Amino acid sequence: MNWGSANEFLAMGGYGLYVWGSYGVTVLCIAIEIWTLRK
């Protein structure tokens, strides 16, 4: 296990903004694509 706490997980060793910025925008893109396909 890499993380001692949820905060440590979110902080990503100080790179939280970059890591979660990448994953977040990817999830958003996939959500938009699935939403436009559903219509």
Partner 1 sequence: MTSRLLQFAAPQAFFPLAGKLVPWFSFLAGALALAGLYVAFFVAPTDHQQGESYRIIFIHVPAAWMSMFLYVVMACWAGLGLALNTRLSGMMASAIAPTGAMFTFVALWSGALWGRPTWGAYWVWDARLTSELVLLFLYLGFIALKSAIPDPTRSDRAGAILALVGVVNVPIIYFSVQWWNTLHQGASVSLTRAPSMAATMLLGMLLMALAAWMYSIATALSRVRSIILERERDAAWVQLQRDGMRAAA
Where do runs of H (alpha helix) occur along 1-39?
6-11, 16-38
Site track 2-31 with partner 1 (rule: CB under 8 A), x = hit: xx-----x--xxxx-xxx-xxx-xx--xx-
Kindly state the number of chain residues that form the binding site for partner 1, as judged by CB under 8 A.
Answer: 21
Q: How far is the CB of 24 from partner 1 (least distance, A)?
A: 10
Joined tokens for residue 19:
């890591």
Q: Is the distance from CB of 15 to CB of 9 less than 8 angstroms?
A: no
Rounded to whole angstroms, how far apart are CA atoms 24 and 39?
A: 23
In the complex, the residues that contact partner 1 under the rule CB under 8 A are: 1-3, 9, 12-15, 17-19, 21-23, 25-26, 29-30, 33-34, 37
